[in-house]
Chains A and B, each alone.
Chain A
Amino acid sequence: MEFNGDALMIDTDMSMEEIIKFEEFIRPRIDFIETIEVEEGCALKSSALLSILVSLKKTRPKLQIPFLEKGLSIAPAYGTIHWIYHD
């Protein structure tokens, strides 16, 4: 996890412990982050990451999360995964 200007870079293969730490990190900073970029080099490790990204988007709709907005992820280990989060 690192900052690149106003963008926060995170990895897809975060474990549950890392996701909890990420949650703790981002809660106080959500208003200052413009974009969350997800490095797609690895496959998703936990569905909880998807959940927190959706939660962040719902909390602050202006937040840009291109990975989430794509609506899908393709990885050899999981096939094609789609997600729908709009109300």
Chain B
Amino acid sequence: MTKQEQVKAIFIEEAGEIIEKLDIDIIRFEENSSDFNLLNEIFRGVHTLKGNANAFGFTRLGEFVHYFEDVLDYYRSTKEDIEEHNLELFVESVDVIKEVMTCELDAIDTLPKSYSECLEKIKTLVSIKKSKDISLDKQNDVSELIDLASEFGFSEEPENILLKSIKAHQAIQDDGLNLYKIDLTLDVDCYKRGFDHLLFIKNLAEEAKSIESFFNMQNVETLDTFKSDTNYIKNVEIVVLTPLSYENIEEFFEFLSEDEYSIESIKPVVVKEDEPLVVNNKSIGASDDTLSTSTITQKSTIRIDTLKLDELFDSVGELVIAQNFIAQNEKIRSVEDESIGRTIDTLSKITKIIQDRVMSLRMVAIKDTFEKMKRVVRDTSKKTGKEVHLVVQGEETEIDKTMIDSLSDPLIHIIRNAIDHGLEANADERIKAGKSREGKITLKAFHKSGSIVISVSDDGRGINKERVLSKAIERGIVSGDENFTDSQIFALIMQPGFSTAETISDLSGRGVGLDVVKTSIEKLRGKIEIDSKEGEGTTFSMVLPLTLAIIDGMLVHAAGEIYIIPTLSVVESFRPEKEIVHMAKGKSEFVSLRGQNIPIIRLSDVFTLETQRIEPWEGILVCVETEIGRIAIMVDSLIGRQQVVIKTLGKSLTKLKEVSGGAILGNGEIALILNVDELRPLIEVPHG
């Protein structure tokens, strides 16, 4: 990748992040349109996007965001109430920005129809607001306007656009970037000397993150006295954000006389010591009426490729294994030396600290994902015509970054499904059922037994079990002979091809969604649980591991080997009484537990291992929940619960579908991680 391509890749990543944030912020702003700090935040995002877009030649995006920025700027500076239809226009504009960005990235010539329509609306709004503003200002505060404008030599704008530009650039000034205001006052003969204002701007732009310039053309004469090769431009003010030093900037103008230019270094905005610069809406823009001259104190962050983080995580995994190896090594343990024992303890503690810190690098709050869901709720609510109130809880819960990326689509689908099918068809139906007009969707994240649960609940109709079961029988998904528990019946709606929706909407109801959701969650080594009460509502809970790199497992001894069963699937473990163990067709064993017949799986049978066969009541049964219901894995003994670093298996072992990975234990031994969903009894046993 060339340097240019690398820079472009960074821009695309940054732009994606900005647009994603805009999408969230605009919905938050729609909810509370008097939050002008948030409007400032949105404005800054749009401004950065404009600079970046123009720098990379995405002029169509640049033009759109330019006008959008104007509108935002009007409202943030006047603090005028925003009309509802204009709020709608803001949301629409963010949609257009997303679409245009895609067109720019894929070099698609034809822009969506919404581009020109929305741009036209924005332009009209800008012109209406500006004309109104100018006339009001002329009536009310002419002197103030003149003072402000005269400071920079402009008289058209009520608020000086140069000052605004400087403030906006200050707001996006990252570490390592310097902000300068350059005043070019080229002599009348500059063209004859081979200089041109645009030549300097072009050179600066090549080294700038963002550049904006302001030509004061007031001195240009009428054609009677005008000569093209004479410079009438009074001055050009350039605001440039660049990594270049003051000395580097001076070099651009070394051939000009000293009175033809001046460079002013603008210091970054002041941030109080204990306040973060970004993140909090209140930190910037709340009182930024004057340009600051003090030094900046801000949280320092760097951008790291997640691949590097993964490599670091792998290395720490190896470190943990090596440390366990030392701690559990019999030879080392047999040395009777207190200092060695203490050193090993210290090493163990430090390794744990490093492991936790590296783990935390991958963890991000689920807040942003939840924020995005507000938009989904809003749009689905509008499309379905249902009034919906969204309640969000536990948004500070942290989750592995890799999982966050894969979680959006399943969440979107479940939320749409909850609104479209979960909630009653209309407010009348809800009132008849004794509920409020407005449907409630609750989005919740929390920790539970070493896992993370993300749930979506609605207070709608609930799932009709009989209807689900009869539909499943009709579709041939189940035979009808089975005796299912409630949760097993609810789980049927996630089977491929299942749909009870009477009408197919563009939101959900095709019966192809929930099974995809289930697969996506299972890929993350998680599972979905459904709980529903007819007439009261439904909850979809996605139970996910804390991280994809480490698994919380139960270590067991079976047939002379050590296996790991994911704790997430384990329901209980017990030594059965002889009386509750039965044989089916002389081949398959099962255990009767609380009225349920649970098939017993012997790992020696699964992996064809030669071992001394013991009876189930001589061993331990670990009861686990699988796709096909509960199974009891027979083991010789339980070793304990442990977090292990997952290692992928070689090609030859990947075919072994009963195993999902391996882990190196402290003593150097390798243990296989069981894929419990693929463990099948020799003969299916009726659960009832």
What is A's interface to B at a CB cutoff of 8 Å?
Answer: 16, 19-20, 22-23, 27, 30, 44-48, 50-52, 54-56, 58-59, 72, 74-87
Contacts and interface: CB of A to CB of B under 8 A. Distances in A.
Given A79-B208, A84-B218, A48 B228 contact: yes
B196 interface: yes
Nearest to B66: A74
A84 B198 contact: no
B173 interface: no
Interface in B228-250: 228-229, 231-233, 236
Contacts of B267: none
A47 B50 CA distance: 23
Contacts of A46: 191, 196, 198
A16 B59 contact: no
Contacts of B62: 74, 80
Given A55-B221, A84-B218, 8 more contacts: A16-B228, A27-B223, A44-B198, A46-B198, A76-B59, A78-B201, A80-B51, A86-B156
Contact of B198 (A47, A56, A74): A47
A69 B364 CA distance: 48
B564 to A, nearest CB: 55
A66 to B, nearest CB: 12
Given A74-B62, A87-B218, A80 B224 contact: no
Contacts of A80: 50-51, 54, 62, 66, 211-213
B239 to A, nearest CB: 9
Contacts of A48: 191, 196, 228-229, 231
Given A44-B198, A47-B233, A19 B156 contact: no
Q: Which of A47, A56, A74 has its CB near the most chain B CB atoms (within 10 A)?
A: A47
B211 A78 contact: yes
Contacts of A75: 54, 59
Kindly list the 3 A-B residue pairs having the minimum CB-CB distance in the complex, ordered from nearest: A79-B211, A85-B217, A83-B215
B54 A82 contact: no
A58 to B, nearest CB: 5
A44 to B, nearest CB: 6
Contacts of A54: 217, 220
Contacts of B56: 76
A44 B191 CA distance: 15
Interface of B: 50-51, 54-57, 59, 62-63, 66, 154-156, 161, 191, 196-198, 201-202, 205, 208, 210-218, 220-224, 226-229, 231-233, 236
Contacts of A52: 226, 228
B191 A55 contact: no
B205 A78 contact: yes
A74 B52 CA distance: 12
B55 A76 contact: yes
Contact of B223 (A44, A59, A87): A59
Given A23-B228, A46-B191, A78 B202 contact: yes
Given A27-B223, A47-B233, A76 B198 contact: no
A47 B236 CA distance: 10
B220 A51 contact: yes
B212 A51 contact: no
A27 B231 CA distance: 18
Contacts, number: 127
Contact of B191 (A16, A72, A81, A87): A16
Nearest to A86: B156
Nearest to A58: B222
A62 B191 CA distance: 29
B201 A74 contact: no
A77 B161 contact: no
B215 A50 contact: yes
Contacts of B201: 78-79, 81
Contacts of B198: 44-47, 78
A25 B671 CA distance: 87
A18 B61 CA distance: 31
Nearest to B215: A83
Contacts of A81: 201, 212-215
A59 B224 CA distance: 8
Nearest to B51: A79
A58 B434 CA distance: 72
A20 B229 contact: yes
Contacts of A86: 155-156, 218
A83 B59 CA distance: 18
A75 B197 CA distance: 15
A20 B192 CA distance: 12
A27 B227 CA distance: 11
8 contacts: A16-B191, A47-B197, A47-B236, A48-B196, A51-B232, A58-B221, A80-B62, A81-B214
Contacts of A16: 191, 196, 228-229
A44 B196 CA distance: 11
A74 B218 contact: no
Contact of B210 (A19, A47, A79, A84): A79
B197 A20 contact: no
Contacts of B196: 16, 46-48
Nearest to A71: B156
A84 B228 contact: no
A73 to B, nearest CB: 10
A58 B232 CA distance: 13
A45 B201 CA distance: 11
A48 B231 CA distance: 7
Nearest to A55: B226
Contacts of B50: 80
Contacts of B197: 47
B222 A55 contact: yes
B209 to A, nearest CB: 10
A29 to B, nearest CB: 11
Contacts of A84: 154-156, 214-218
Contacts of B154: 84
A36 B231 CA distance: 22
A27 B345 CA distance: 91
A51 B54 contact: no
A5 to B, nearest CB: 22
B235 to A, nearest CB: 11
B115 to A, nearest CB: 15
A77 B220 contact: no
B177 to A, nearest CB: 15
A52 B229 CA distance: 10
Given A48-B191, A85-B217, A86-B155, A59 B212 contact: no
A65 to B, nearest CB: 12
